[in-house]
Copies of this chain bind each other. A is one copy, B any other.
Amino acid sequence: MPTLDRSLIRDLPSFRGLEADDLDLILSRAWSAHYPAGSEVFGQGEENRSFFLLLSGHLRVVKTSPDGHQVIARYINEGELFGIGVALGMPTYPASAVAAVDSVALAWPNGFWNELQSRLPSVGHAAYETIGARLQETQARVVEASTEQVEQRVAHTLLRLVNQSGRKIADGIEIDFPITRQDIAEMTGTTLHTVSRLLSAWEDEGLVRSARKKVVVTDAHGLLLIAEARKKG
């Protein structure tokens, strides 16, 4: 296997400002793997053995409830760490990670975590900030789920998706990976039927443009108005 090149990770937020030696140390312990669209990087409940960094592609983080319902916890974008339960002492992965498109990831053995954290504290720090951001996002979702109507939740979710994984195109911002009505339903706790109706209505109002496995937000501000709408003062 050819040695991994520093340029792969040099410019990522997690490794910003490291020396060439440090990058080489990190890469010397890493291996890379390709995951075809639809394949699983790790499964919920599996023993936590490695932590990862997504080099290219997009992953879906899916939690399956005891009664078989699927919930999409979040999407992972290029350059993000994932599967870092080792930083929180988790013995197993709490969710599955599935490639939404063909993806490439770096992986390290969990045993490397302590060494990494003590020799390059800035990397550990960055990882904990990532965790903090995700915790906040998860808590925000609890608040949304507890207080908002379906319409507002779907609007918020679309806005989050374009913020985190949006790609600017001619007439708006496109979600950068294939996403179905069912996927959006699993992020918002509703059904694909309701999502379909909402997207149709919003398309009529000129807020979004959608097609098969594709959503473009054409009027983020208008969508925000719906997301923030309060039924009662």
By a beta-carbon cutoff of 8 Å, the part of chain A in contact with chain B is: 63, 65-67, 69, 71, 73, 85, 87-90, 94-95, 125, 128-129, 131-132, 134-136, 138-139, 141-147, 186, 188-189, 228, 230
Contact = CB atoms under 8 A, between A and B. Distances in A.
Contact of A73 (B63, B88, B132, B142): B142
Contact of A138 (B66, B95, B135): B135
Per assembly, the copies of the chain total: 2
Contacts of A87: 128
Contact of A143 (B65, B88, B146): B65
B142 A230 contact: no
A118 B145 CA distance: 39
A69 B128 contact: no
B89 A132 contact: yes
A75 to B, nearest CB: 15
Contacts of A129: 88-89
